[in-house]
Amino acid sequence: MIFKESGKISDGFYVIGPSAIPVYLLDGPAPILFDGGFTALAHIYETQIKEILGDRKPAYLFITHSHFDHIGAVSYFKKVWPEIKIGGSLRCREILAKQSAVQLIRKLNLEGTENLKKMGIPSLNERPFEPFDMDILIQPDQEVELSSGLTLISLSTPGHTWDFISYWIPETKILIASEAVACYQSDGYLQIEFLVGFDAYLESLIKIRNLGASILCAGHHAVFTGKDTGQHISASFEAANHYLNMTEGFLIAEKGDIDRAVLRVKAAEWDDRPWPKQPETAYLLNTRQRVKTIWARMNKHLKKKG
């Protein structure tokens, strides 16, 4: 089954906020949030979390990576629930220590706020993004014993970013993979999100496929359960190779001109896509990085052949 809306996925597990920019909640004796979504949606996340937990409070918030649409409301959550423990990678902490990174995250969240206004989304938090620190530094393959008797295993799944961590709960077969798998868009298009390494992305997909997850949480728009989990992982491989071939073709046609190749990719996959979709500034930043990554890979392979 493919869940495209927020709400209950299974016993004790929920999509919080709009499915396009989700926060995931695992309820239990020590409730856990995964990722922090948009800054603008902080009030909506808070309201829905409180509707589920009542007077109880989330104990942990684990971050997959440092992109603006996955950490936007984290500092807000820390103010609402001061005792919540925030976990993420050392690389994520290092990125958040850079003023230039904070400024970019703030800028992209503000653009997201303006887009949500145009869509008529109510109760927006218009305060800017604020940086935060980690309470728990997560190492790859680290196991965290949860008070509910469950185990949380962190998996290094680079490709989208180098700081990327997926979270695996073997007892329930829930995998928070975010952009380590393709993102199912509102029109059914699969957005491939490798930014720093195409081959690393494929290796991460292999690691994910071998887990045998029953519930697969992507970064945006959809959660997959049952047989749709495996089908989406297979589709992610196919979409990645299609994207590679398409972009290599554009780069060859444009004789390595990154800017022109980016515009051709944008015309092929973003321009005609309906809203909600990734804001244009963020899309162009990511697409330029994807195209540069493929161009570097092409040149590396040429050098090997030479």
Strand 215-218 with 13-16, pairing: unpaired
Going by the DSSP 8-state scheme, the letter that residue 273 receives in this structure is: P
Contact indicator for 158, 196 with CB cutoff of 8 Å = yes
Parse the chain into domains and list their residue ranges: 2-226
In the prediction, which pLDDT does 263 show?
98
In the chain, count H helices and then E strands.
9, 16
- Give the separation between CA 244 and CA 126, rounded to whole angstroms: 38
What pLDDT score was predicted for residue 251? Answer: 98
Q: What is the CATH number of domain 2-226?
A: 3.60.15.10
Going by their DSSP bridges, the two strands 151-156 and 165-169 should be labelled as: antiparallel
Q: What is the pLDDT of residues 44-66, one digit of tens each?
A: 999 999 999 999 999 999 999 99
Whether 306 shows a pLDDT value over 80: the answer reads no
For residue 242, the model assigns a pLDDT of: 96
Mean pLDDT for 200-224 is 96
* Span 217-241, average pLDDT: 96
Q: pLDDT by residue (tens digit) across 293-305? A: 999 999 998 777 7
Per-residue pLDDT tens digits for 5-36: 999 999 999 999 999 999 999 999 999 999 99
pLDDT, greater one: 303 or 287: 287
Using one digit for the tens of pLDDT, what is the confidence trace for 133-167?
A: 999 999 988 998 887 788 999 999 999 999 899 99
- What's the whole-number average pLDDT of the chain? 94
pLDDT at 223: 97
